[in-house]
Amino acid sequence: MPARPGPLFDLRDIPAALGLLTRLPVKVNTAFALTRGAAAAWAWPLAGAAVAVLAGGTGWAAHHWGGLAPGLAAGIVLLLQVLLTGAMHEDGLADCADGIWGGWTRARRLEIMKDSRIGAYGVLALVLVTGLRWQALALALPLGAAGWGAVLAAAMLSRGIMAGAMALLPHARPGGLAASAGRPSRVTAAAALALGLLPLLQPGGNALALAALAAIALAAGLARLARKRLGGQTGDVLGALQLCSETLFLVLAPGLAGAGG
């Protein structure tokens, strides 16, 4: 189902994006948000920016001003990210890992993903991805402005990737919650991706272009896998794409940002 008609940009989409993708106490015009549906996806990178500023900024300050060890500061960043997003992306990753690898048919995979219980694939995915993010953040925080810029870029780009996947992939469950929001137009998705790439325009940001390309390529591969195994995208698939693309960006960023600096 296509996104609801209306202007490409509406400032009311910003609180709608924050209300959807974060747990920040923002006032959302619910009736408007429901009417706009996926047309508000262009603003999703701004929700990522809010999470990065609050979580990444706190970790950066704890390390550079408070003298906290990089590993401990990185743990604070992760904790705040989980609290600020309600662990929705982590939940999507676990559900996708269990469903995609734990079922023999498309219907069974989707059924597993709806189950609130977590299996071995989901646990392993969460442990590995969280461990990689933690270590990558611990390497990025000592880089100062370059490391902070990488955290911001990863958060914004990965939300732009979500919008792109939502536009390009059909709904795996026609009657699901994601389907009720519709699909953003390709113009809306392109705007979200462009907004997500804006942090690369910062001084030294061009060094992170390889990380951005790798994150987009990984998301494209995972989206193709979701299309083959599930028939398309769900909210869990979008969450998994966000978390995996953000993680790969963060893994590559410290070396690239350090070389660029």
| Residue pLDDT, tens place only, 63-91 | 999 999 999 999 999 999 999 999 999 99
| Residue pLDDT, tens place only, 128-146 | 999 999 999 999 999 888 8
Token pair in block for residue 114:
């709806």
Does the pTM of the predicted model rise above 0.75? yes
Count other C-beta atoms under 10 Å from residue 29's C-beta: 13
Q: Name residue 238's beta-bridge partners.
A: none
- The 3-state DSSP class for residue 183 equals strand
- The 3-state DSSP class for residue 194 equals helix
Residues of the chain with pLDDT under 50: 1-3
By CB neighbour count within 10 A (0-12 exposed, 13-18 middle, 19+ buried), where does 102 fall? Answer: middle
